[in-house]
Structure 1
Amino acid sequence: MCQNLEADLAIKNTKIVFSSTIVKAGLAVKNGKIIAITSDENLPKADKIIDAKENLTLPGIIDVHVHFREPGFTRKEDFFTGSMAAVFGGVTTVVDMPNTNPPTLNLESFRLKIEKAKGKTYVNLGFFGGVCGENLDKIQELAKAGVLGYKIFMDKVLGKPLDDNSLIEAFKLIAKTGLRVAVHAEDPKLVEQATLNLKKTGRKDFRVWVESRPSLAEAKAIEKLAFFSHKTGCKIHICHVSSKMGVEVLRKIKSQLSKIFLTSETCPHYLLLSFEEAEKVGLVSKIVPPIRFKEDKENLWYGLLDGTIDIIASDHSPHLPEDKAKDVWDAATGFVGVETSLPLMLTQVNLGRLTINHYVKISAENPAKAFGLYPKKGFIQVGSDADLTIVDLKKESTIKSENLHSKTRLTPFEGWKVKGLPTYTIVNGKIMMENGEITGKPEGNLILL
């Protein structure tokens, strides 16, 4: 049957990785879709054939937490450079956060972001709409315009913070759209009070940053958000879980409530760095929530492996060197991550910390399910989008900022040796990256639900 088909692209000599198994089979692609999964000898004729050289083919990696900084902060990153970094990191789809300038709070700002992104992205690009105390009446129009979900910061990042009554109202309105809301979960009152008290002491050491954002603030926020979610039927996603206390609260909640309402993510920097390591790196590693302690790191691994945490995301947040060259209170928070996430996690696969199947689950399948993209994305089957990441688990490299592709390249993983790299990044059936070289054009799709 496959011999009668004609394909644009075929992949042979590979093993396909699913969340539960690995299958030796070839793939064929036409018009951006997978049209056949079969033995190599039964693959249809194709315009181009990739010999994967026994490397693994994964569903294209989905990063649901990036800050590509456009519009407003393009001196740090933009859609072109951010998406280029993504394909070098084996990522095929990203979801961009709304804290730009202007923030993505209404139809006008959303349309501006779409216009800025057209013809500039190597990957598939979706968008979060922001929600604050000043735009509850815009939630429905953002859904109709095509946002993949919403983002709430519990402080004043996007504008007037949401008090509890406004938060409940926002959840009710979001529930009506059927979309999920991602939340930066830190109790703002606890953080504000801790920060005020610590600033009075005059301290400016690195540890004071961790103390100013206690684990309790994360745990308390998660607990409240889950309760409001349960009461309103609003699907929520907890961003960048960073603490043992946060994991424990999530585990308790998930044992009691339906999982459809609650998903969560953590990031490679919380899994791989502890406070002591971050302190050595200095303010490059300053981020919110902060990188905490060994006990937190170990418990995040437990949570990731037992299903308490559903997703791995990068929280790619580029900054210029001068943004970091300040004291601990004023230095910018965040660093690049969309290009280094996959190599860092594949290194952990090689070390036996997690299986390649579980990595596929948390980096492709679960993100797609959480944000309405599954099974078109996040899964390899006939009819799915041909977003594919071929990886060589034996290939080694060293992370060097000078070799990264973001506009600004500060990383706390400078000098880290990694084992496991992407060799091909295929977006909508087009080869965007091949063996460390850009081979495609910025023709990624804008994902508008």
Structure 2
Amino acid sequence: MQNEKHFFTLLKGVEVFAPDKIGKRDILIAGDKIAALEQEIEVPAGWDCRVIDLESCSAVPGFIDGHVHLIGGGGEGGYATRTPEVQLGDVINAGVTTVVGCLGTDGTTRHMSSLLAKARGLEEEGVTTYIYTGSYEVPTNTITRSVRDDIILIDKVIGCGEIAIADHRSAQPSKEEIANLAAQSRVGGMLSGKAGVLQLHVGDGKKKLADLFAIAAEGEIPITQFLPTHISRNPELLEEGIRFAKLGGKIDITTSSANIPGKRTGITAAKAVRYCLAQGVGTEQITLSSDGNGSMPAFDGDGRLIGLEAARIGSLFETVQELMEEGALTLESAIRLITENPAKNLKLYPKKGCIQVGSDADLVILDEVKNIQYVFAKGNMMVEKKQQCVFGTFEKNGKQ
């Protein structure tokens, strides 16, 4: 059963982190927008308005997950190791209201047109979606046969990714090929008013970020055009990520981790964030993403697959909770890693990533112990008192 919709919703007496802490406020939602944000709001008699008392709760912007395999990923261990598609419940129960989809290793049996269709389907079910054009290989997969044209002509395409570098599964692209993709993405973004970033899957290879440093040093393409992800994969790569951030670049840390022999390095996402901060990287240079529904393979020294798990979108906020529990960051600072920072990187701010009048009504309500109680996506209540109340087409009471 779908949740009953109201044009107006009034959230009363909630502590607002916008993400700056602004104190207790009433939040009026009108349709899919935040219409008012005041210390006290009175609704005129006769309005069809749902009123929710949120005393002792906190409101934060809806989470943005910038790297999710919406139609599944994997396949490195054969056909049976392809991971499943994302369902609406996977997204909203994790507090995510905006998701960016991508392909991965497999650009042969998974297609850009399928990714676009999945993104549109999830949007119809209630969340905001965007996608990257491309996959691991170079030349990469597109819809129009051009990265630039995809970004310009297809509304949901906001950049190119995930292109694999420093990985035995990549197409071993040259520095010139990476620069060309960045240039196409940049011009496509300029002509369409989009971010036009190039998201790069960084593996365990010896080159690490060397090509990105070389391209940025040449001065034609700014370092902010690149968004390397999986930066906490190993200690050496994390050190290069810190250097990259100190040069003005943005780095993305993957929150999912698999307990597979040979996979874990001891660098959890929270530990990586703490280390980056200790080394002088500003919080504004860091984002978190889940790699949701991507495969998490482990390989031996000869490149043979020895284990496989699927990444979880829920790991995104779990990492934020861990950072707060350890005292590394306050809620005000930690929540930026999955709200304001990705929104600005992807040129979605201030429509997304904040709580402001006129912004999309994407909100997560946390209880006293900072667990998710309510989720609103584009003004619609998707999770109520920890229970999913809107279901995808093929979900039944939260079960497929």
Please classify the TM superposition score into its range, dividing by the shorter chain length: 0.7 to 0.9
Q: Which residue of 1 aligns with 2:36?
A: 36
Amino acid aligned to 1:167:
I
Give the secondary-structure state (helix, strand or coil) at the position aligned to 1:378. coil
Q: Distance in 2 between matches of 1:338 and 1:426?
A: 17
Q: Which residue of 2 aligns with 1:299?
A: 275
Higher fraction of helix:
1
Going from structure 1 to structure 2, the CA distance change for 1:72 and 1:298 (only over 3 Å counts) comes to closer
Q: Distance in 2 between matches of 1:433 and 1:295?
A: 30
Q: Distance in 2 between matches of 1:160 and 1:219?
A: 16
Q: Which residue of 1 aligns with 2:382?
A: 432
Q: Which residue of 2 aligns with 1:77?
A: 84
- Say whether the 8 Å CA contact 1:130–1:158 is kept in structure 2: no
- Say whether the 8 Å CA contact 2:64–2:99 is kept in structure 1: yes
Task: Give the 5 Å matches for 1:150-229.
Answer: 150-151=160-161, 152-154=163-165, 160-178=171-189, 179-186=196-203, 188=205, 190=206, 217-220=207-210, 223-224=213-214, 226-227=216-217
Q: Distance in 1 between matches of 2:335 and 2:167?
A: 35
Equivalent position to 1:148, from 144, 158, 170: 158
Give the secondary-structure state (helix, strand or coil) at the position aligned to 1:357. helix
Give the secondary-structure state (helix, strand or coil) at the position aligned to 2:250. strand
- Say whether the 8 Å CA contact 2:61–2:364 is kept in structure 1: yes
Q: Distance in 2 between matches of 1:292 and 1:17?
A: 29
Amino acid aligned to 2:133:
G
Compute the displacement of 1:365 (Å): 0.3
Compute the displacement of 1:292 (Å): 4.5
Give the secondary-structure state (helix, strand or coil) at the position aligned to 1:25. strand
Compute the displacement of 1:442 (Å): 3.8
Going from structure 1 to structure 2, the CA distance change for 1:53 and 1:297 (only over 3 Å counts) comes to closer
Q: Which residue of 2 aligns with 1:330?
A: 305
Compute the displacement of 1:431 (Å): 0.8
Q: Which residue of 1 aligns with 2:371?
A: 421
Compute the displacement of 1:28 (Å): 0.9
Task: Give the 5 Å matches for 1:114-153.
Answer: 114-120=116-122, 121-130=125-134, 132-135=137-140, 138-143=146-151, 144-146=153-155, 147-151=157-161, 152-153=163-164
Q: Distance in 2 between matches of 1:9 and 1:371?
A: 28
Give the secondary-structure state (helix, strand or coil) at the position aligned to 2:333. helix
Give the secondary-structure state (helix, strand or coil) at the position aligned to 2:114. helix
Q: Distance in 2 between matches of 1:339 and 1:66?
A: 11
- Say whether the 8 Å CA contact 1:266–1:309 is kept in structure 2: no
Give the secondary-structure state (helix, strand or coil) at the position aligned to 2:146. helix
Compute the displacement of 1:168 (Å): 2.0
Going from structure 1 to structure 2, the CA distance change for 1:158 and 1:75 (only over 3 Å counts) comes to closer
Give the secondary-structure state (helix, strand or coil) at the position aligned to 1:14. strand
Task: State yes or no: 1:286 paired with 2:253.
Answer: no
Give the secondary-structure state (helix, strand or coil) at the position aligned to 2:306. coil
Q: Which residue of 1 aligns with 2:221?
A: 232
Equivalent position to 2:341, from 337, 342, 366: 366
- Say whether the 8 Å CA contact 1:59–1:389 is kept in structure 2: yes
Task: State yes or no: 1:67 paired with 2:100.
Answer: no
Give the secondary-structure state (helix, strand or coil) at the position aligned to 2:28. strand
Q: Which residue of 2 aligns with 1:201?
A: none
Task: State yes or no: 1:18 paired with 2:18.
Answer: yes
Going from structure 1 to structure 2, the CA distance change for 1:392 and 1:245 (only over 3 Å counts) comes to same
Give the secondary-structure state (helix, strand or coil) at the position aligned to 1:68. coil
Q: Distance in 1 between matches of 2:330 and 2:280?
A: 12
Going from structure 1 to structure 2, the CA distance change for 1:303 and 1:381 (only over 3 Å counts) comes to farther
- Say whether the 8 Å CA contact 2:320–2:335 is kept in structure 1: no
- Say whether the 8 Å CA contact 1:391–1:422 is kept in structure 2: yes
Compute the displacement of 1:76 (Å): 2.7
Compute the displacement of 1:223 (Å): 3.0
Q: Which residue of 1 aligns with 2:104?
A: 99
Task: State yes or no: 1:382 paired with 2:361.
Answer: no
Q: Which runs of 5+ in 1 are unaligned?
A: 1-5, 191-216, 271-277, 395-419, 444-449
Going from structure 1 to structure 2, the CA distance change for 1:52 and 1:296 (only over 3 Å counts) comes to closer
Q: What number of residue pairs does the alignment pair up?
A: 362
Q: Which runs of 5+ in 2 are unaligned?
A: 1-5, 76-80, 190-195, 394-400
Give the secondary-structure state (helix, strand or coil) at the position aligned to 1:183. strand
- Say whether the 8 Å CA contact 1:104–1:130 is kept in structure 2: no
Compute the displacement of 1:429 (Å): 0.4
